[in-house]
Structure 1
Amino acid sequence: MTQHHHARWVHLLPALLAVLFVAACGSDSSGVGTGSGAPGQQPAPTRVLISADMAAGLFTLPPNYALPFPSDVDDGIAIALALNALTPEQAGFRGLEVAGISVTFGNNERDAQLAQTRELVHEMMGRTDIPVEGGAAGPLPPADPDAERDPCITPGVEMMADQLALGPAALFAFGPLTDLACLVLAFPERAANITHVLAQIGARPGEEYTLPNVQQPIREAVDCCLWSVNVSLDVPAVELALSAPELSQARWTIAPWHFVAATLLSTNRMAQLGGSRPEGEWLRRNSIAFQTFWLAAFNEAGIHPWDVTLVQYLMRPQDFATQEVGWRIVDCRNPDDPLGRPTNTDCAGHGPTQFPLRDAEPAQLWLGNGDDQAIRPGLFIIDDFVSEEARTRFLDTATALAP
């Protein structure tokens, strides 16, 4: 055993002890349902891994965009909530035990996001026990038999593989699915230990990416510029992950566009985010620019807690109405377009007169039922909260950064 591998396994010793403890308590690793323990005892927490493009406080830069604008902050809220969920204070919530975080490209560049995530997790929250490593820096790389090292094997993917070698875990995919696809390709046996994939991707068949709370005429204007970035940034990774035999036993829970677009964490709630917690103050400070941008661009006062809904679902699935669906990748490219733009009218919102920003969407993920949808047992979308009480409970939990 080399010194490098010895150090890795010493680093994993606390996680191994935690897995043994969870196994002894009879944990339901899937995270679906509230589980059961001994009478009067809280069920053992669900073990989870996170792949995220946490960009709170960062700005996107050219050449990918014409002008710099602040990156989204919901990944930071989702990570903080998951880390604070080990022992929920509220009844009916399942605890979460975060085993590690891989930071992928997406909302911003990977390395800048990695520094921000480590600052949030290690410095603000004091969780130096949580490994935070760099995952994919770009889309799924093509196979290169002559390469000295598989480009899919990043420190983040390697960390997740090590954690899965210790036992089953659910996976939050808050960004593009590149880390998950690389895990399948490079460590297939360990990827089979993923019990539940939770992601914010796609929409119902033919559905445009609209903001239902925005009134006309602004609503019509903003419809030009929204799509599933997590799909568009790496379409092959989405297709590989959804069709991988290694993940055939895993449940998938997806928060599609129509669900996440209907819920807003208001500016009043954002001003109270996390209360006196250090991570709350950090997230409030690092969300000001994005809130200002979102209000100016889309006339909404607050942020959409896109990925945060997935954390709440895993803690309290009884608050959500779900539907089992099939899936389909719709190619938006148009070989007849004189400029090579993705103007295929089969894609919602696409056509010869589409707004230039939509050129960044090469394909769409449709989630629904029909003869043209691929069947994948265990693929569910969240349709809605079961009640307004459940919606309010989610907003209160997200605001508090703790269940």
Structure 2
Amino acid sequence: MTLNNVGGNQNHDRRAWSRDTIHHDSRSFATINGGYTENDNRRMRRNIENVQTYHEYQGSHGNSARNNYSEETRVTTTSQLSPRSSSNRIALPDRPRENDNARVPYAIDHDSSQAAIRQEREAALQSLPQDFRSAFNACFIPAVIELTGTLRAWADPSTDQIRDVWHKTMPQDLWANLSDSRWGPTIYNATLASLDSWRNDFASAAIDAVRDDVNKVIQDRENPSSHIFRLREGDYRFRRYYFIDVSQDERGQPVRRGPFQSELISRTFSEHFKVLNSIQPEHRRSERATGAIVLSILAIERALSFYSSGTLEVPPGPENEFSRANWDDQTIMLQGRAHRIRTTSEIQSLFGRNRDGSERVSPERWDEIVEKAKHYASPSSQMHESVDEDEMDHDFTY
């Protein structure tokens, strides 16, 4: 059976497949345009224009350099990547993809076309026939989400990867629909809509987790703003909120326990595992879900920035969205030279390898992280392999 053979007048119960997203939430949670200042005085900038002063801090011993730049600062973004060629290609929509399993910085300018793309994707998801949609949501999408969680954060699967998952998870009589000129673009857009919703789930979970944490602090009659400040102490490698507990030894050196196992991270990361239960054991993946945990950390950074005053303050406009355009790496031009803002790559590198090849997060530690996250989610298999990412200047382990 193909989708072309499905009866013409279908009564679709769309409520069963609609998913709340940040875009439809009246609170409109998201990022801050222009960035924010970290507790170590690093200025985190996104979508920067007309920047007069740029602060850059390097090294692990407090050495810093302050550079003054002209008002000619502008944001530039990397170009889109074309889908890979294949002997059995997926029929794609006319609009270009935002990226194709990219391992390079990527950002999209905010304009009306992005809202149109989101609407087109959501409409495609709702237009799938009901009987076909059941297999699509129960079998195909969880497997695509599991795959995407192992990629670099914000990357979408390549067309070859999507086709491979399609053939492994969908009934054989539906295989041809992916390359069909009528249904291929619809399936493709519906897949991207589901991935958008999956990423938004991290943003919602992070807001909920930070809100509950702030409420506990208020009940204990502590200052919530000071509490948020403490959580964000440390550079991006050793944020206090990464850990279950941070104390000091007799020499005054920090002792960190339970990396990436704090309640904030575990609750947010658990969103990834909640969608994987319907995947058949033979279709499960062994790679680590590093992209998913990086999205979790970025979502928490966003939520903490919204609660920096002790109460939830969400800036207006599209810059408040948890999106690739706001939170992936960007390249800015400073006095005619390109400078890379590694918002996502810095976090992704925490789960890579040191220069000697050793893993920064050992297999045993990763298992602990997954088990703690699964405490807040439905049971799912553990993942054991690493995805190497950008190398940093200093070696370390958790």
What TM bracket, shorter-length normalisation? Answer: under 0.3
Indicate the structure with greater strand content: 1
| Greater C-alpha radius of gyration | 2
TM-score normalized by structure 2? Answer: 0.27
